[in-house]
Amino acid sequence: MKQGRETTFEERVQIARECIATGKNYGELALKYQVSYQQVRTWTLRFEQMGEAGLQDRRGQRKKDQTPRTELEQAQIEIEQLKHKLYLAEMENALLKKWDEVERRDVSQK
């Protein structure tokens, strides 16, 4: 499999448009633009479904239409985080008790 390269938004749009115009010859365009076959196919399918917006790289960004969290949602998230912290503390406590028990057993056997 050929290693892809980083592309700009404009390149992805151009590749997707050209792919549609040439009858979806993914392999030929992958070689021409030095990107992977799968990327060309994915970009073309996204372009057909969502237009140019589908080709934007939005990793690590919130959706534009997503509303901010409400106080209730924020409180629920905080409760879940605290529950997880409590669980980890209980596990650590159990582990330390077991470790202490093993040390006592080793000392008594010697």
Q: How far is CA 48 from CA 3, 27, 39, in A?
A: 25, 18, 14
**Report field, pTM of the whole predicted structure over 0.75:** no
What's the CA gap between 10 and 23, in Å, rounded? 20
**Token duo for residue 71:** 């106080």
Domain definitions of the chain by residue range: 9-55, 70-110
Tell me the average confidence (pLDDT) per consecutive run of 10 residues in the chain, 110 residues long.
73 89 86 88 89 79 67 89 97 96 85
